[in-house]
Structure 1
């Protein structure tokens, strides 16, 4: 009996010592900074951003670590990220943006190096829900949610309108993984001048742009789902927001999905489609390079992505930047509301004076299937007079168009719109249902099949002021009496086993 009592006492002593040791380790572990230990309540009513920022300050003072946000609803103003910090939002935890005001802890717009050549949203970062400026080694992680409930949904005159869910400026070594963002404000994620950026397994269901990657280098976006009915989904930009032109370069985007369902209906699984959207336009939700393009885009690869009920792929340089060395492969699209592929070089030139027009060159797009494409615009590749798009290859592509184009539409003259905003819909209904290429030099179309779901009185292809265009193994459905190809201006087009026409040069 005495032996048994001694054994029990020994076990109790070991348990007490182990508990104290575990508590001591946990207390001094930088990964154990729970925001509730700093006063956070998590009831969705009381403002918790002061407590969150206190925890961040404590971790920074300790040399780095993880700020832990447990399950709960945390009403918040601006959260200030710091270097060597991981903000871990656990499953069941939601950071809720309070209505934007100084009283709710939002920071004012900071003085910017430049506000002339881009909108307010690309000129300020500090007036956001979560922001970081000149930081390194920063992560936002976890299976929780960021809900930008109180962020403005659009421009409101006289108010702070450029707030974002997450805004990062001149940072490096940044990782955003696993979180979900609902209603992200001006942009759900804005990264400007950020190097070594990873965005992985993130779900965005938002009212404006999903993620804007601006003037960034060495970027990896993977396994993300972005629903953005009223603006772009995954968007690379190169603004003048840094005060100088800097390319967005060395970027991979892979295994991602973009869509334009009603806001909120992606995360809740209802996937609603409202015909008359809040903005009176068709859904956007695409992957795009541009519109802001002062610094250009270099060394970009996009692969294994899905477009669903949204606009098509867009590559644009209109502000003097170079868009070059881009490969895009393994893309599937369904219910596309305008051009499935849009390449645009123009001279909007929203930037400092005397900058020359940019160039768009060396692009390969392959292995694409697009089904149920609206009849307004097919593939649209357009430079401007004196500035052709160069060295483009499109191969292994199948596109199924809705058709219904009329003979009157087939006679339309398409405006140049050299200075205009680069959007496929701005050109109106195109006179070709499949491809319209103008001011292009060096275009190879290889193993491409165009199909119609309904009769269409337009040609499949129109080439206008083009040089060195080659069609190899190209098929296109056309209605009775409609020529498959129409040439305008100077056109140097060669066929090989294509369109049931003789091999060789086409003539006007």
Structure 2
């Protein structure tokens, strides 16, 4: 009987999701014009009608000839002439680092496969992280376009965690050479890489620039993050594909760092780490958020640590983010918001709606102020005092989110001195093994939320206050609606029939009856 109930509930979830998906696709500018906040200027850069074919500067597309100098000559000639298009035609183009220049559209035509050399010395920088494979700094009016493919030869750079590798892959790589950590939990392709992991370059980095367009290319097999725009104003990322193996260490797909007026539209991601991620740190002007006015629309994220991610670096502040009409499939976490003491800051005015997820390994929605990332074999992180940069997540608006199959539906974990606050969930349906857990949350609203779970307790609350639960749907065989512990108070339940539950409200030691009010 229990199996039949769960099957029926799954069918109802599919029907609900199908109805919600009636929202149609929109062009990019529709999102810019209809954002729930005032966007700054989003406009494509313009380029002179001149074409500079890399073959005219000595490039040979045989996959054997190193074309670093030829590509550089074409870009420099284009920039010197006032700008235009640098054409990478169909072919197999081996190269070292490529540096972009202002007013240049680097166009890799469909059929062009650009292979970054596995000769690591070409990317070595004394005393710092390896030089990015495709990069530019302090630019204006620059683009990477076309249907070509950029391959970062990341398999020659990246370490591999034993915990992330299939046994066959682990055995093959460890037998092939390279180096193992003393604990035997991570393999490196080279001893040099194990000695200094900073050598691994980020594949594409454009920084401190204005008017940037990335439209059409595929970035795959990156040594580190695939694409990391930093401090860019007026940024369009459109029709981009990221292809990284699920086991790619630090294989983030798209990491926006301290950008303003940016849109990520119609992209497809396979990542070994976070899918589409917002980062913000090192801001000099503390009066405004370093990352602001961001739209993430109509993207698909397949395997990744998180579909849409905030953090962990948030100390520069974030404001005005709209995440809408995206699909997350088989990601570790669906919506992932993370930070911790020492790298936190104010993240607010975040709008997340029309998100469709399936087969999420862990949480469908996670907001946590206790994130920790520790490299295998490294020493434990030193404790950070409460006076350091503190995560402050507030004013999130989450609606029309649907998830079929997760381990945990919703998990919120704040800090005693800084609860996760002012979060509202509206029209949310999630099927998961475990229901909802809120620790150190305040001023939260859940309305028209359906939790399909065999979990016997629907809401587990600890040290949380001012929680409004309205029109909540849940499995008929649940035994408790709320379990309240610690200093939980101000919980109000309305529009929800809990009369048939055997132990509808469980109050822990010291929690007064007045902590939960049923209307």
The question of a shared fold, defined as TM-score above 0.5 by the shorter chain, is answered with yes
Describe the SS at the equivalent of 2:390.
Answer: coil
Report the Cα offset of residue 36 of structure 1: 0.2
1:212 aligns with 2:234: no
- Three-state SS of the structure 1 residue aligned to 2:337 is strand
1:268-283 to 2 correspondences below 5 Å: none
**How far apart in 1 are the matches of 2:278 and 2:266?**
17
1:303 has 2:347 as partner: no
Counterpart in the other structure of 1:60: 79
The correspondence of residues 217-256 of structure 1 with structure 2, limited to 5 A, is 217-228=260-271, 230-240=272-282, 247-256=290-299
How far did residue 363 of structure 1 move? 0.5
Q: Deviations over 1:55-106 (max 9, x none)?
A: 001011101111000000101110011111100000100110111423xx43
Partner of 1:430: none
Question: Out of 198, 222, 228, which is 2:236 matched to?
Answer: 198
Is contact 2:254-2:276 (8 Å) kept?
yes
Indicate the residue corresponding to 1:257 in structure 2.
300
Could you list the per-position Cα deviations for residues 302-328 of structure 1 after superposition, in whole angstroms to 9, with x for gaps in the alignment?
000001001210123422310100000
Larger radius of gyration: 1
Which one of 277, 280, 287 corresponds to residue 308 of structure 2? Answer: 287
In 2, are the aligned partners of 1:107 and 1:128 still within 8 Å (CA)? no
RMSD of equivalent CA atoms: 2.6
CA distance in 1, matches of 2:383, 2:111: 44
Once the two structures are TM-superposed, the CA of residue 479 in structure 1 deviates from its matched residue by 3.2
Is 1:329 equivalent to 2:353 in the alignment? yes
1:391 aligns with 2:422: yes
Counterpart check, 1:488 vs 2:485: yes
Tell me the CA shift for residue 466 of structure 1: 1.6
- The residue that corresponds to 1:279 in the other structure is none
Superposed displacement of residue 218, structure 1: 1.1
SS at match of 1:157: helix
1:157 matched residue in structure 2: 194
Unaligned runs of 5+ in 1: 1-28, 112-123, 261-282, 404-432
The whole-number CA distance in structure 1 between the counterparts of 2:403 and 2:309 is 17
Deviation string, structure 1 residues 376-414 (Cα, Å, up to 9, x no partner): x3311111112111111001011112x3xxxxxxxxxxx
1:108 aligned to which of 99, 107, 125: 125
Confirm or deny that 1:89 pairs with 2:108: yes
Preserved contact between residue 289 and residue 297 of structure 1 (Cα < 8 Å)? no
Count of matched residue pairs? 405
Counterparts in 2 of 1:161 and 1:498: CA distance versus 1, 3 Å: farther
**Greater relative CO (CA pairs within 8 A, separation 6+):** 2
Contact 2:216 2:241 in 1 (8 A): yes
CA contact (8 A) 1:146 1:165 kept: no
Q: CA deviation at 1:49?
A: 1.5
For residues 142 and 242 of structure 2, what CA distance do their matches in structure 1 show? 20
After TM superposition, give the deviation of residue 107 of structure 1 in Å: 5.3
Equivalence for 1:442:
443
**Alignment correspondent of 1:177:** 215
Where in structure 2 are there 5+ consecutive unaligned residues?
1-47, 160-187, 373-381, 506-513
Match of 1:3 in 2: none
2:145 corresponds to which residue?
141
Given that residues 315 and 389 in structure 2 are in contact (C-alpha distance below 8 angstroms), is that contact kept between their aligned partners in structure 1? no
Contact preservation (8 Å) 1:294, 1:351: no
Q: How much has 1:133 moved relative to structure 2?
A: 1.3
Tell me what 2:402 maps to: 369
Contact 1:304 1:329 in 2 (8 A): yes
| Offset of residue 347 of structure 1 | 8.9
Change in Cα spacing, 1:356 to 1:108, as seen in structure 2 (3 Å) is closer
Q: Distance in 2 between matches of 1:352 and 1:441?
A: 22
Please give the secondary structure, in 2, of the residue aligned with 1:46.
strand
Aligned partners of 1:317 and 1:360 also within 8 Å: no
SS at structure 1 position matched to 2:199: coil
Correspondent of 1:360 among 384, 393, 396: 393
The structure 1 residue matched to 2:64, chosen from 45, 48, 57, is 45
Write the mapping of 1:425-464 to structure 2, written as runs, cut at 5 A. Answer: 433-452=434-453, 455-456=454-455, 458-464=456-462
1:351–1:201 distance in 2 versus 1, CA, 3 Å = farther
